[in-house]
């Protein structure tokens, strides 16, 4: 079966774009927490949002590390 190869630039874009979106989500969550800190604390929802940010941060950083590592190896 003939499989067409994806252009490396398009492949990088398809891999990097979701990572950029995860950073935008992280920034949005941090802004949301900082602007609604008192309300979240009063509603006892602050722990959830802090946990969400604490889980999202290492995931975004590890994904960035993985992408950079693959680009340097030449596999991406």
For residue range 25-76, what is the model confidence (pLDDT) as tens digits?
A: 999 999 999 999 999 999 999 999 999 999 999 999 999 999 999 989 988 7
For residue range 4-36, what is the model confidence (pLDDT) as tens digits?
A: 787 888 888 899 999 999 999 999 999 999 999
Task: State the pLDDT at residue 71.
Answer: 87
Residue with tokens 């190896």: 73
């Amino acid at each position: 079966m003939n499989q067409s190869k994806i252009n490396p630039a398009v492949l990088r874009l398809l891999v990097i774009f979701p990572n950029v979106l995860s950073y935008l989500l992280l920034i949005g969550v941090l802004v949301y927490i900082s602007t609604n800190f008192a309300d979240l604390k009063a509603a006892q929802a602050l722990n959830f949002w802090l946990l969400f940010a604490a889980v999202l941060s290492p995931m975004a950083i590890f994904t960035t590390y993985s992408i950079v590592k693959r680009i340097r190896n030449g596999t991406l």
